[in-house]
Structure 1
Amino acid sequence: MDEMQLADGAPSADRWVKAVSYALRQLARLPKGRVLISDTSITLEGASPDYGSFDALMAARRAPPEGFTLARFLVEPPQVSPFLWAATLIGDTLKLTGVAPSEEAGRGIVEAARSVLPGITVADDTKLASGGPPADAWVNAANFALAQLAKLREGRAELSGTRITLSGEASDSSAYVTVRTAAQAPPPGIQLDVSALRPPLISPYVFAVRRDGEGVTVSGFFPDLATQAAVRALILNLYPEARLNDVSAVGAGAPAGLSETLPKLIAQMARLETAELRIVDGQVQLSGAALHPAAVGQVTANVRKALPRDFTSEISIERAPPGTPESDQECAREVEQILAHMPLLFEGHSVRLSAQSAPTLDRIVYAVQRCPATRVDVLGVPEGNG
Structure 2
Amino acid sequence: MRNVKLWTWPGLAAVVCLSALAIWFKAGAIEADLRSRTISALQRDHAWVQVLINGRDLTLTGLAPDEDSRSKALSIARNVHGVRDVKDASVLLPEEKPYRLSAEKTENGITLGGFVPNEAARADIVSTLTGLLPGIALSDQMKLARGAPAELVSLAGFGLSAFTRFSIGSMTITDGTMRITGKALNPDDHEAALSVLSSVPASAGVVSEVEIVPAAAIGDYSWSASKGPGGLVLNGYAPDFAVRKAIMTRAGLAGGDLAAVDRMRFATGVPAGVDWLTAVELGLSALEKMSEGTVTITDKTLDVSGEARDADAFRAIQDMLSGKLRGGVLLGTADIGMAPGHGAD
Alignment TM-score, normalising by the size of structure 2: 0.59
1:158 equivalent in structure 2: 172
1:249 matched to 2:267? The reply is no
Structure 2 counterpart of 1:143, from 149, 154, 157: 157
Deviations 1:332-371 (A, max 9, x none): xx4xxxxxxxxxxxxxxxxxxxxxxxxxxxx5xx35x4xx
Structure 1 counterpart of 2:326, from 303, 306, 309: 306
Deviates more, 1:73-82 or 1:123-132: 73-82
Task: Report the alpha carbon displacement of residue 228 of structure 1 after superposing the two structures with TM.
Answer: 5.0
What value does the CA root-mean-square deviation take over the aligned residues? 4.2
Contact 1:173 1:249 in 2 (8 A): no
2:75 equivalent in structure 1: none
Structure 2 counterpart of 1:234, from 243, 249, 253: 253
1:122 equivalent in structure 2: 138
Aligned pairs for 1:321-332 within 5 A:
none
Task: Report the alpha carbon displacement of residue 105 of structure 1 after superposing the two structures with TM.
Answer: 1.6
Whole-Å separation in 2 of the counterparts to 1:133 and 1:289: 56
Q: Residues 228 and 116 of structure 1: is their aligned pair in 2 closer, same or farther, counting only changes over 3 Å?
A: farther
How many aligned residue pairs are there? 261
Aligned pairs for 1:1-386 within 5 A:
38-39=53-54, 44=61, 74-91=90-107, 93-134=109-150, 137-171=151-185, 172-183=189-200, 186-203=201-218, 204-210=220-226, 218-223=234-239, 224=241, 225-227=244-246, 229-237=248-256, 246=261, 248-253=263-268, 255=270, 257-271=275-289, 276-281=294-299, 283-288=300-305, 294-295=315-316, 297-301=318-322, 304-307=324-327, 311-317=328-334, 320=337, 334=341, 363=342, 366=343, 369=345
Q: Residues 323 and 262 of structure 1: is their aligned pair in 2 closer, same or farther, counting only changes over 3 Å?
A: closer
Amino acid at match of 1:229: M
Task: Report the alpha carbon displacement of residue 306 of structure 1 after superposing the two structures with TM.
Answer: 2.3
Question: Any gaps of 5 or more consecutive residues in structure 2?
Answer: 1-22, 25-49, 65-87
Contact 1:156 1:166 in 2 (8 A): yes
Contact 1:296 1:318 in 2 (8 A): no
SS in structure 2 of the partner of residue 248 of structure 1? strand
Whole-Å separation in 1 of the counterparts to 2:282 and 2:154: 47
Q: Indicate the structure with greater helix content.
A: 2
Amino acid at match of 1:182: S
Deviations 1:163-186 (A, max 9, x none): 111111345244144135315xx2
Whole-Å separation in 2 of the counterparts to 1:93 and 1:100: 20
SS in structure 2 of the partner of residue 219 of structure 1? strand
Task: Report the alpha carbon displacement of residue 99 of structure 1 after superposing the two structures with TM.
Answer: 1.4
SS in structure 2 of the partner of residue 208 of structure 1? strand
Which of the pair has the greater relative contact order for Cα pairs under 8 Å at 6+ separation?
A: 2
Whole-Å separation in 1 of the counterparts to 2:307 and 2:61: 87
Contact 2:280 2:297 in 1 (8 A): no
Amino acid at match of 2:326: A
Whole-Å separation in 2 of the counterparts to 1:162 and 1:102: 17
Task: Report the alpha carbon displacement of residue 158 of structure 1 after superposing the two structures with TM.
Answer: 0.8
Q: Residues 113 and 270 of structure 1: is their aligned pair in 2 closer, same or farther, counting only changes over 3 Å?
A: same
Deviations 1:124-181 (A, max 9, x none): 11112233335xx322332333234344443211111211111113452441441353
Alignment TM-score, normalising by the size of structure 1: 0.54
Question: Any gaps of 5 or more consecutive residues in structure 1?
Answer: 1-8, 11-34, 48-71, 325-333, 335-362, 370-386
Amino acid at match of 1:278: T
Q: Residues 288 and 189 of structure 1: is their aligned pair in 2 closer, same or farther, counting only changes over 3 Å?
A: closer
Task: Report the alpha carbon displacement of residue 267 of structure 1 after superposing the two structures with TM.
Answer: 0.7
Whole-Å separation in 1 of the counterparts to 2:140 and 2:318: 65
Contact 2:291 2:339 in 1 (8 A): no
Amino acid at match of 1:236: G
Whole-Å separation in 1 of the counterparts to 2:208 and 2:326: 36
Q: Residues 160 and 247 of structure 1: is their aligned pair in 2 closer, same or farther, counting only changes over 3 Å?
A: closer
Contact 2:279 2:329 in 1 (8 A): no
SS in structure 2 of the partner of residue 149 of structure 1? helix
Amino acid at match of 1:300: L
1:23 equivalent in structure 2: none
Whole-Å separation in 2 of the counterparts to 1:247 and 1:269: 16
